[in-house]
Amino acid sequence: MKEHVVIHDNELMVEKISKGVIEYTRKHRGETVVSRILYHATRLELLPMYPVMLPKKFTTYILVKLEKPVAVPPRREVDIYIKIPVDTAVYAYGPLHRFLVIDVFTHHRIKYYLYGPPDRGVVARYAYSKVYVKKPETEFGEALAYIHIRNRYISWVEVGQVLLDAQILKLYYKPETWNACTQYISLVANSPSTASIYYGRRISGEYRPIQDPPDLKPPRLLAKTEMLWGLK
Amino acid sequence: MGVEVVVADYNYTSIYAWAKQINWYGLFLATVILIVGLFISQLFRKLTYKISIRFFPEATARNIARAVYYTLVFIVGASALGALGIDLTGLFVAGGIIGIILGFALQNITANLFSGLFLYWEKPFSPGDLVDINGLMGWILEITVLSTKLLGLDGVKIRIPNQEVFQSHIKNYQATKARRLDFVIGIAYKEDAEKAYEVIRKVIDEHPLVLVHPPPDVFVYELGDSSVNILVRVWVPSRGMLWYEVYKDLLWKMKKAITEAGIEIPFIQNDVWFRTPLRIKLETNEESIGTTRRRGGR
């Protein structure tokens, strides 16, 4: 028994090679890049994954550059939507509903960005998004993020980038679709160049949270991200 | 041959006199000082360990606690002997002289010890960092009181005395989040450098680990003897060995892309000019003529 699915340049194949034993293979442009043998896997599932795993996981930050900076008047609040890239993970479930992420792939171009100075800044996965004032539709490989911007400063503030931390960020997906979103995010501008990002409640609806890889979600006391090196 | 056993004839009066001579109060005081002092020393040992473990590695914290403990034990012992009425002046004088001798003999060890402590305070690196100390490159394995141990890139364990580390130029490749890599690519003089820029930039853009910001820099930096030299500067994450992967990957990809674009990467060429006219001797032998012609060049 052999099943396969094609997603952009990737061909995913699952073959039953013996009783209770399956082989998972992924080919990228015809070349085999991942091949795993799984014992007693009950189910394989494709789910969105935080875009920090490729080509290797070495950061948890995502920097989203906005196509056009958003200017917020003093002491005012605005709401925008942005899209962040998400990779695709292959989850293998076994007994007791335990899972193993056996593969992660993407069709996005992967690039990273140094936010801040080399000694104190952070290297973040680089993403680029339009600014939406109304809720847009998302496609495969995208997650919708609702950003509430609050300007606490006494003057206008322009927000041209948002720094997110995958350790606090939560991804949700709508079953049987490629629709994905994050929880509510609040960006509080403290000055023209600094802001605090707070991660709020989940978006209501039929969305389910993805199961986070344990090493990506260490326990944290303070669930916020500081943007100290510029908002534009 | 037999052994004669002599049973001492105890004189109880003399024992009493001897016992009377003993300073019972001093003995009691010395015992109390010893017991209480050792107990307090032990307490201080634990306390010092608990405090120093917050700032120093475990091995150093243990050594500091041990040093404090033995110093206190020495003071307690000296105090106990003092309580017994034993004059320690001679001992201290002898100790002082021994101390001076040991000071001279162990000055390197002392220097290493203090250098080690300064390294702990300054923290130019931590275990696991990739560093270059006096040209020795490797990962920091351990920083002990006397030396710093590295695992060289070739898998060889290197021990460097702390005094040398302290006085050296130290490059820590992982103290920052990103680092710059430089590549030099020479193209022939007849080639269009701007076309080469385009090809190089495309390769850089496609590499996932070359950072978007700080932006890569590509420019002609030198008109070399045989080539126009283009300097390519890119920033990469310094975490782990990611920079090394880019280093290995990028130069070859750039070379391949430049060659595929039909841009010539020249060999080193030397034009030799003779100040005086060069005389070539022609011989009738055909083979010799051929040899001379070949040697004559142009």
Distance from CA of A113 to the nearest CA of B (A): 5
What confidence tens digit (pLDDT) does each residue in A129-149 have?
999 999 999 999 999 999 999
Q: What chain B residue is nearest to A111 in terms of C-alpha separation?
A: B208
Name the percent of chain A lying above pLDDT 90. Answer: 75
Distance from CA of A56 to the nearest CA of B (A): 9
Q: Which CA distances in Å does B134 have to A187, B161, B167, B168, B269? A: 47, 12, 9, 6, 36
Residues 6 or more apart in contact with residue A28 via CB below 8 angstroms: A9, A10, A11, A105
Query: Which residue of A58, A109, A115, A123 is the best one to mutate when testing the B interface, meaning the one whose CB has the most B CBs within 10 A?
Result: A123
Distance from CA of A55 to the nearest CA of B (A): 7
The CA distance from B257 to B53, in Å, is: 54
The DSSP output letter for B272 is -
Out of B213, B240, B242, whose CB is closest to A114?
Answer: B213
Out of B178, B212, B239, whose CB is closest to A126?
Answer: B212
pLDDT tops 60 at residue A16: yes
pLDDT tops 80 at residue A156: yes
Task: Please indicate whether residue B3 or residue A172 has the higher confidence score (pLDDT).
Answer: A172
In chain B, residues with a C-beta closer than 8 Å to the C-beta of A61 are: none
A147, A135 in Cβ contact below 8 A?
Answer: no
The CA distance from B138 to B146, in Å, is: 18
pLDDT (0 to 100) of residue B3: 47
Beta-strand relationship, B170-172 and B130-133: antiparallel
pLDDT (0 to 100) of residue B231: 96
Rg value, chain B, Cα: 38
Q: What chain B residue is nearest to A122 in terms of C-alpha separation?
A: B177
Contact B177 A123 (CB under 8 A): yes
- pLDDT confidence band for B115 (50 / 70 / 90): confident
Bridge partner residues of A53 (DSSP)? none
Residues on chain A bordering chain B, Cβ-to-Cβ distance under 8 angstroms: 54-56, 58-59, 109-116, 118-123, 126
The pLDDT of A180-209, averaged and rounded, is: 90
ipTM score here? Answer: 0.90
pLDDT tops 90 at residue B82: no
Q: Distance between alpha carbon A12 and the CA centroid of its chain, in Å?
A: 21
- pLDDT confidence band for B178 (50 / 70 / 90): very high
pLDDT (0 to 100) of residue B293: 52
pLDDT tops 90 at residue B230: yes
Whose tokens are 């702390």? That residue is: B162
The pLDDT of B216-224, averaged and rounded, is: 93
pLDDT (0 to 100) of residue B130: 92
pLDDT tops 60 at residue B289: no
Residues 6 or more apart in contact with residue A142 via CB below 8 angstroms: A83, A84, A85, A86, A180
Which helix (DSSP H) or strand (DSSP E) does residue B90 occupy? helix B89-105
pTM: 0.75
What confidence tens digit (pLDDT) does each residue in B14-69 have?
777 777 777 788 888 889 999 999 999 999 999 988 888 877 767 677 878 888 89
Q: What chain B residue is nearest to A54 in terms of C-alpha separation?
A: B208
pLDDT tops 70 at residue B226: yes
